[in-house]
Amino acid sequence: MSLVLVGMSGGVDSSVAAAVLVDAGHEVVGVTMRLWGGDADTGCCSVSDVDDARRVADQLGIDHVVFNFSDDFEKHVVTPYVDGHRAGITPNPCIECNRHLKFERLAERAHLLGFDAVATGHHAQIERRNDRWALRRGADPAKDQSYVLHMADQATLARTLLPIGAMHKDEVRAIAREIGLRTAGKPDSQDVCFIRSDEGRARFLGDRIPLRAAAVVDTDGVDIGRVESVETVTIGQRRGLGLPGGGPVRYVVDVDHADPDRPVVVVGAHDHLLRDAMTVGSMSWTDAPVSGDVLVQVSAHGEPMAATIDGPDASGRYTVTTARPHRRVAPGQSAVLYDLADDCVLGGGIVVD
């Protein structure tokens, strides 16, 4: 039996995670992190979500506390998100939240308070293999969240529990229904938690930074349109560019911020998006660094691609070369490496180019 602090967002996954831990005989305390003081409705810390977490904890007979980490969230997640968009980078806020809030701030607080481990309701699995810790994909391929947990190192994995990682989502909901948890039918959260779904990203960013209109040009430099805010344009995007319909499908293949007063969005055919390699920085490894053949995944539920990784170069960056050309990845997104069995996370980093 261990003393476990379980992060409870008020959703069904973390509710069942807590229930599983209680059932396994651990001494469990639930915590909801208050991360965002804003008025997002989709987040993990609205008052009604905290109420759900508290009432589930009551039902499980465990204590529930709320930790206010909103300053850290602002500093490590929201500000870099806004600054990134201003600079043409598209960070993944869920990854930064896991990195800085769950695996740093919460884990440190838990350690200080005498907890043996922190548990979450993520769909991924931690397994002991050859005296080392392995981070494996969740059993439910549709819900696998190993991608957003890739930055966990051996020390973190040793002190983290993922009680529902071996379950399919329908099993999770079935358990929740069986024990009558109020969160059993709660929909999965999808969006960036601090952005209100009725306002959207442009409004969120527009309240914080000046949004700049940009010319849309084709790959020959011919001016063919205009977007209201270059900050909300992402590489690979093909909708919302204000281009006349009927022509060939065009994708954003580049966003040029070099001249801050005259940003340019370049669109082109799918082929113009294709790249053979990407440069990845801020690399972290779940265990020892790896080189050679791997699988790489560049979005939360993207297809893993066969690749090789080389590096680091003098500036600590790695080159990931895919076996077949891949669609260019927006700078700021995370490239996560898996073993060739497509099972274990090896590490990951942030795409620089």
Active site residues: 97, 193
- Closest of 95, 151, 91, 161 to residue 122, by C-alpha: 161
The smaller minimum CB distance to another protein, of residues 114 and 210, is found at 114
Work out the number of other CB atoms within 10 angstroms of the CB of residue 314: 6
The smaller minimum CB distance to another protein, of residues 71 and 276, is found at 71
The smaller minimum CB distance to another protein, of residues 45 and 230, is found at 45
Question: Least separation, in Å, of the C-beta of 70 and another protein?
Answer: 8
Distance CA 306, CA 144 (A): 19
Burial class (CB in 10 A: 0-12, 13-18, 19+), 178: exposed
Burial class (CB in 10 A: 0-12, 13-18, 19+), 194: buried
Question: Least separation, in Å, of the C-beta of 265 and another protein?
Answer: 40
Which residues, at least 6 apart from 152, have a Cβ–Cβ distance to it below 8 Å? Answer: 103, 135, 160, 286, 345
- Token pair for 275: 């790249």
Question: In sequence order, what E strands does the chain have?
Answer: 3-7, 27-34, 63-68, 117-119, 124-129, 132-137, 160-161, 214-218, 223-227, 251-256, 264-268, 274-285, 292-297, 305-310, 318-327, 334-338, 344-351
Cα–Cα distances in angstroms (integers) from residue 279 to residues 33, 308, 309, in the given order:
34, 12, 10
Question: Least separation, in Å, of the C-beta of 39 and another protein?
Answer: 12
Helix (H, G, I), strand (E, B) or coil at 183: coil
Distance CA 307, CA 234 (A): 24
Question: Least separation, in Å, of the C-beta of 41 and another protein?
Answer: 14
The smaller minimum CB distance to another protein, of residues 109 and 327, is found at 109
Question: Least separation, in Å, of the C-beta of 72 and another protein?
Answer: 11
Torsion, CA 296, CA 253, CA 241, CA 228, rounded to 10: 100
Footprint of another protein (CB under 8 A): 32, 34, 45, 47, 50, 54, 65-68, 70, 109, 112-114
Question: Least separation, in Å, of the C-beta of 10 and another protein?
Answer: 10
